Structure 1
Amino acid sequence: MDTDYLIVGSGISALVFAALSAKSGRKVLLLEAHQYPGGFGHTFPMGKHYKFNAQLHYVWNCGEGETVNQVLKKLQLDKKVTFESFDPNGFDHMRMPGYQLDIPYDTELLLTRLKTLFPNHAKQCSAFLDEVKRTADGLTVLSGDERFKNIFKNLEQAATAYRNIRFTLQQVFDKHQLPLEAQTLLALQWPDFLLPPNQLSFCAWVLLFTGYQRGAYYPTHHFEHVINSLVDTIKDNGGKILYQTQVDKFILEDNRVVAVEATDLTTNEAMRYSAKCTICNMDPKKAAHLIGIEKFSLKLRSQLNYDYSASNFMAYCSVKDINLADYGFGKWNIFHTSHLDLNQAFDAMYHNHDYSAPSFAMSTPDFLTQDTSDRPEGYQIIEFVTVADYQYFKDLKARDPRAYRQKKREIFNSIVSTVEEHYVPNFRDYLSYKSTGSPTTNEDFCWCPEGNSYGSAMTPSNFNLWRLNHNSSLKGFYFCNASSGYAGFAGTFWTGAKLYQHLSGERIL
């Protein structure tokens, strides 16, 4: 048994862990059921000339000294893998009928803009943003390695964060009596969580919102370059990745995972792989049921009893004979809602499957980098994302594939009609390519149970200090996944690096 780490899956947290481990001299082997590495961070070709990233649009924690930067420095990739900043004056453009708000890096500027929009609620806006800052500072204390030492030095901030862990974003909005329009503008980033304010953990929202305020970024050479650089580091240091290799069973001896049984999906051949330690990048709940949930401790069973995040509808598009910069697009994302109340908008789309007044996000990566390798010359890429109910789409696809395709067209046409009404007249005339994906697409191509986009849902009951981490209660078996750490690009970098620190004893964060 000469393999140190057998890693099941090649999502971003697994690639980070594997790259750090291989770079330090450990022998690593990754088994990936898909044909591409990166999980939701993978890039796929479409048509003859296009490349689209599965889910990522922008990232945070990439600035000097922050998590992603520290990991890349350790891997000697920080000069190769670089990032471009979104517009500091407004990295997210929030748009709703009658109101516009650009979210800047500077919190004081954000407060000034809110006071201008809502002069009769200036004190409420100020108090809310102050609570956001104290909560963010407190979460840093509570999640740090020396939290018990630092809590007493930052007692107010730690107490604020600890108190707010059980609250939704809506509850904190209500506490400060923010007007509904201000709530909607501040929470219009909801597609980054696929949860409305009345379900979303306030602390999860705070981490992401303030994280992006420290810097919102896009990779200079697209996300494919980031993933490929991690893969190259693994291979250059003796590691191996076997694609289209599906793990079907975990082998236990004396409460220790000693091997896995897997199927080569290209040949249908059954294989067995073993190592000193097994790192599970597969969804922890799915893996636990493969192993046998009764083999885990009662504490772990409780932590594994999480709800999956919602899934999404994606539209990958390109346009030609038009410059989207003339219509308000640029180095920012645009978040749109046709409905004043985001909780009602979410319910209409997710529960009632009604997209007649959609709320969605728009991303235009071509404005963020000079690298044109993702599209033909003279074309621009624009992507749309909103929420979708997995069970509804799964049942519809199984019952009536034609109706399933029609529903996807209906959602896409509703989004395009909204774009034509509010942003780009006759947008359809400029479309040169379009492809849509539903929750079942996520499940088929990203191997995520129930098509989930973020692992466990970021509700207060799932997103807390007692959530699942790398410990599995089984010997030689560790979780390394969004549900056992944190979702998103920065979150999975952190998850992979923290597990590396735990197993190697080397501190890099």
Structure 2
Amino acid sequence: MTNRDDWDAIVVGSGIGGLVCAAYLAVTGRRVLVLEQHDVAGGNSHVFRRRRAYEFDVGVHYLGDCGPGGVLPAILGGLGLDKRITYREMDQDGFDEIVLPSTSMFMPAGWDRYRRRLKETLPEDAAGLDTFLDICEALGTEMRSALLSGEELTVADLVARTPVTLKWGRHPLSGLFDHCGLSARARTVLAAQSPNYGMGPDQATVSMHATVTDHYVRGAYYPEGGGQMLAAGLVESLEAHGGALLTRAHVTRVLVDGGKVTGVGLADGRSFSAPLVVSNADYRRTVLDLVGAEHFPAKLVTKTREAAMGLPFATLYIALDRPLPERRNANLWWYADDDIGTYYRRLAEGDIDPVSFLFLSFASQKDPQGRAVCPPGHSNFQVMTLCPPEYDRWGVTTGPADGTRYRRVGAYRKSKEEFTEAMLTAAERAIGPFRDHITHLEAATPLTHERYTLSTGGTPFGLADWGGVGVRPDTRTQVEGLHVVGANTRYGSGITGVAVGGIACASAIVGRRLMHEVHDGAVLGDADLLPERDERWDPLAVSRGTGRRHARGLAGIDR
């Protein structure tokens, strides 16, 4: 199938947004080719293995809204994957533990419980919390209702149905904090999970905060088998319906003739033709490099060149030869200061040592039956913190997407080692001593992230400011036949955000309200076409595509 040169649609990049779009185009009758420059599909959802003993999730740490009627299960279920991708509940009475020097709180599922918990923790802010939560809950409900609507909403419909969103959605989160008269401590507790969208309260909009909060307040979950299960299921659906995935296929050009896309060209000289190209690549690189600025209006090119990106992460992947101390099945959001505004100001100034914020995700607690996570009696967890976006923080002036070979640069290695030490010191402040039990320690910087995903600045969050606060591209572009998906679009980042963008893009192409259809129970994919899975089935191997499924170099797990 992949020997053919002409396709109905080509998807550049295999993050979850690209795979969702590709799978829906395939199940609605298009011949679809997905091209991925990395060794496996999945983008920020992929996993990697070490020492034949540990499997680490790169970007899937928890998912919201995966219970009955959930958005992500509906999207995957519409492809016939409801029995192949399942979810484990985290502690619904406290799936996120927020720890400040002066207080701590477990965030529960359910807006009513969340409100009660906040007012118990912050009684002096009770009145302001009510105002804040009334606005966020209403906005989250309005946005979700609009997403699931079965009809195309006009501007007049939106004005009538989303009054809170129209009033508050584009305001900065800090503006709503001011309106509610909230203390610094209350602002920190409320915005503690703001690294979920890579922006502080002065930059993030109320809409972004409210929709992400609403997403998790509807319940927190983890995919059984880890994040690679998402990509593997989508690849199975794509291939079962006549599509194909090529990995190690680096697209360097989207071909345009007479204002219309005609296909793509690869780094190895191959080319494939199609009248429709969906770019799941970084938006800035799509416009300026893959397509070329000459094919877009000058104003769009200017704001794309000048766009600010969400903040990137540095991550430690850690395995221990002992279990973690007993704790709830909850993430930990740890802050060394009660004022989140001070934290983001320090970050903007490049002042990140000592490390004053950490997110800890405990994979071996979330999926204790997962055969690949770690051996019995061991533990597996990730420690993450936000970083300044500038390259010079890491001792280089350009990034790997521009061809910079940074990993052996002395200044980079020194910066990475020093920051690893600072993160370990903070992590032991957060959860107690563990260094004597480390069996694997690996650090990833924003340059690491950029090397694997080619995202501008190594961020998983996409655009933070694209010519205006809260402004982001739609999936359609000004070039005929060219669409975009992924973390840079108006549908947001995170697994569910990009999945929603993927199905929205497919909907625009096929002219159907697919999100409404599948949330209403429609199954467009034929589950009978999906391949059988035996005891040797490996989601990482499946995510390489049929042509490279059995190629050498795939890391295994000894169990």
Distance 1:460 1:169 in 2: 18
How far the C-alpha of 1:288 sits from its partner, in A, is 1.4
The answer on 1:279 being equivalent to 2:302 is no
Gap runs ≥5 in structure 2: 398-405, 516-559
2:275 maps to amino acid: K
Deviations 1:399-436 (A, max 9, x none): 99334223323333233223333422x21112211100
Q: Match for residue 439 of structure 2?
A: 432
Q: Match for residue 411 of structure 1?
A: 419
Deviations 1:240-264 (A, max 9, x none): 112111112222221111022112x
How far the C-alpha of 1:149 sits from its partner, in A, is 6.1
8 Å CA contact 2:263–2:272 kept in 1: the answer is yes
The residue matched to 1:390 in structure 2 has which SS?
coil
CA pair 392-281 structure 1, distance change in 2 beyond 3 A:
closer
Distance 1:299 1:62 in 2: 40
Q: CA RMSD in A?
A: 2.3
Distance 1:366 1:460 in 2: 42
The residue matched to 2:68 in structure 1 has which SS?
coil
Q: Which moved more, 1:22-31 or 1:427-436?
A: 22-31
The answer on 1:335 being equivalent to 2:336 is no
8 Å CA contact 1:81–1:219 kept in 2: the answer is yes
Q: Match for residue 23 of structure 1?
A: 27
Q: Match for residue 74 of structure 1?
A: 78
CA pair 257-152 structure 1, distance change in 2 beyond 3 A:
closer
8 Å CA contact 2:90–2:330 kept in 1: the answer is yes
Q: Match for residue 129 of structure 1?
A: 133
8 Å CA contact 2:197–2:493 kept in 1: the answer is no
Q: 1:477 aligns with which of 473, 482, 492?
A: 482
Q: Match for residue 297 of structure 1?
A: 297
Deviations 1:67-110 (A, max 9, x none): 21222221111011011122110111100112011111122222
The answer on 1:47 being equivalent to 2:51 is yes
2:498 maps to amino acid: T
2:497 maps to amino acid: G
CA pair 46-461 structure 1, distance change in 2 beyond 3 A:
farther
Q: 1:497 aligns with which of 480, 498, 503?
A: 503
Distance 1:160 1:25 in 2: 39
CA pair 219-63 structure 1, distance change in 2 beyond 3 A:
same
Provide the aligned length of Structure 1 versus Structure 2: 495
Map 1:351-362 to 2 at 5 A: 351-362=349-360
Q: Match for residue 266 of structure 1?
A: none
8 Å CA contact 1:393–1:439 kept in 2: the answer is no
The answer on 1:441 being equivalent to 2:448 is yes
1:294 maps to amino acid: E
Map 1:233-272 to 2 at 5 A: 233-263=237-267, 269-272=268-271
Q: Match for residue 487 of structure 1?
A: 493
8 Å CA contact 1:199–1:459 kept in 2: the answer is no
CA pair 394-114 structure 1, distance change in 2 beyond 3 A:
closer
Distance 2:445 2:204 in 1: 22
Distance 1:110 1:395 in 2: 39
Q: Which moved more, 1:27-36 or 1:408-417?
A: 408-417
The residue matched to 1:384 in structure 2 has which SS?
strand
8 Å CA contact 2:476–2:505 kept in 1: the answer is no
CA pair 460-113 structure 1, distance change in 2 beyond 3 A:
farther
How far the C-alpha of 1:300 sits from its partner, in A, is 4.5
Q: What percent of counterpart residues are identical?
A: 24
8 Å CA contact 2:383–2:427 kept in 1: the answer is no
CA pair 317-458 structure 1, distance change in 2 beyond 3 A:
farther
Distance 1:312 1:174 in 2: 28
Q: Match for residue 386 of structure 2?
A: 387
8 Å CA contact 1:390–1:440 kept in 2: the answer is no
1:417 maps to amino acid: T
Distance 1:80 1:458 in 2: 37
Q: Match for residue 395 of structure 2?
A: 396
Distance 1:347 1:404 in 2: 24
2:382 maps to amino acid: E
Gap runs ≥5 in structure 1: 264-268
CA pair 122-377 structure 1, distance change in 2 beyond 3 A:
same
Distance 1:294 1:245 in 2: 25
8 Å CA contact 2:320–2:380 kept in 1: the answer is yes
CA pair 283-459 structure 1, distance change in 2 beyond 3 A:
closer
1:292 maps to amino acid: G
Deviations 1:84-140 (A, max 9, x none): 122110111100112011111122222222222332322111121112112223334
How far the C-alpha of 1:368 sits from its partner, in A, is 1.7
2:464 maps to amino acid: A
Q: Match for residue 347 of structure 1?
A: 345
Q: Which moved more, 1:107-116 or 1:363-372?
A: 107-116
8 Å CA contact 1:169–1:202 kept in 2: the answer is yes
Q: Match for residue 89 of structure 2?
A: 85
Distance 2:23 2:231 in 1: 11
8 Å CA contact 1:348–1:355 kept in 2: the answer is no
8 Å CA contact 2:321–2:378 kept in 1: the answer is yes
1:310 maps to amino acid: L
Distance 2:514 2:325 in 1: 41
Q: Which moved more, 1:88-97 or 1:450-459?
A: 450-459
8 Å CA contact 1:14–1:281 kept in 2: the answer is yes
8 Å CA contact 1:7–1:14 kept in 2: the answer is yes
8 Å CA contact 2:65–2:219 kept in 1: the answer is yes
Q: Match for residue 319 of structure 1?
A: 320
Map 1:157-172 to 2 at 5 A: 158-172=162-176
Distance 2:352 2:226 in 1: 34
Distance 1:395 1:32 in 2: 27
Q: Which moved more, 1:197-206 or 1:210-219?
A: 197-206
8 Å CA contact 1:191–1:385 kept in 2: the answer is no
Q: Which moved more, 1:306-315 or 1:342-351?
A: 342-351
Distance 1:457 1:257 in 2: 28
How far the C-alpha of 1:284 sits from its partner, in A, is 2.3
